[in-house]
Amino acid sequence: MSSQPPGPVVELPVPVARVPSLSYFFPAHDEEANLEPLVEEALATLPALAETFEIIAVDDGSRDATGSIADRLAEAHAGVVRAVHHPANLGYGAAIRSGFRAARYPLICFTDGDRQFRVADLARLVARQAEADTPDVVAGYRIQRADPLVRTVYARIYRFANRVWFGLRVRDVDCACKLFRREALEGIRVESGGAFFTAELLIKLGASGRRVAEVGVPHYPRTAGSQTGARLAVVWRAVKDFWWLRLRLWANGRRALARGEPILDREGAPGS
């Protein structure tokens, strides 16, 4: 993996010491207009965050040119950029899971592929993880959400429901700007392949004693592509997954925590 920047390095929003290695991935479904600018942004930014890094684009069954663009960038930046493809659209959670499994390094972070987060703001998460308490997870929360009102309303209801029914006290459950220590993910299994994936992951990490810290990050309006998170089918799948987990935890908590696919591969070794 290359540690040399391809051009000018982006100035970070907070001072941070470079970590030895870092995996950065993002899910992308029909993000042909966002994918190349995001990869270029990551190539310019990550050298200031890590001595060695990798960038993984997870194409979740895109119907546009997302997959071919990802392959072209992987070829142009061999050893640094990689592409993972789903033959069909499997859902947000499945794409996040594929990103985790493909990641090779001890620190793993992700954003969405829609460029509503800046790669440079991962510095806020890296700096928080480096503090004395060294949390297992650093979850970003959007300082000011740049989304349509309907998504903001959904998010508030969703946060309240997770707090009431699961005791999940994360202020922005689905903020797509998170950092994980690889070892904290070992032994964790998640059933959901949809929008409930992140909440289920945080619930199970908390139940397993992992420590979660939070830090505010800026959020930017989408400038290309279209949002899918408020679609009825996506919301309905999340609701079903939410209640299945809640019912299973009531019935047999230990068994419920052990259900699902492992976040890392089955041997717990780095993905390929």
Structurally, how many domains does the chain consist of? Answer: 1
Mean pLDDT of all residues in 111-125? 97
Print burial letters for 96-130: b (CB count within 10 Å at least 16), e (below 16). bbbbbbbbbbebbbbbbbbbbbbbbbbbbbbbbbe
Residue 263 lies in a domain: no
* Torsion of Cα atoms, 46 then 5 then 222 then 161, to 10°: -10
- What's the whole-number average pLDDT of the chain? 91
Q: What is the pLDDT of residues 19-29, one digit of tens each?
A: 999 999 999 99
- The pLDDT value recorded for residue 151 is 77
pLDDT, tens only, 217-230: 999 988 875 665 55
Predicted model pTM = 0.91
Residue 51 has pLDDT above 90, yes or no: yes
Average pLDDT estimate for 82-96? 96
First CA to last CA distance, the chain: 13
The answer to whether residue 163 sits within a structural domain is yes
Label residue 5 exposed, middle or buried (CB < 10 Å: 0-12, 13-18, 19+). Answer: middle
172 Cβ neighbours under 8 A, 6+ residues apart = 139, 140, 141, 142, 155, 159, 214
Range list of β-strands (E), 29-74: 50-60
Q: Looking at 55-69, 121-135, 203-217, 256-270, which range is the least confident one?
A: 256-270
Confirm whether 6 is domain-assigned: no
Lowest mean pLDDT among 118-122, 148-152, 214-218: 148-152
Q: What is residue 227's predicted lDDT score, i.e. its pLDDT?
A: 61
In a domain, 8, yes or no: no
Instruction: Find the domain containing 179 and state its range.
Output: 19-257
Residue that has been written with the tokens 């546009």 in this structure = 64
Smallest Cα–Cα separation from 165: which of 259, 257, 245? 245
Residue 109 — φ and ψ, nearest 5°? -135, 160
CATH number at residue 199: 3.90.550.10
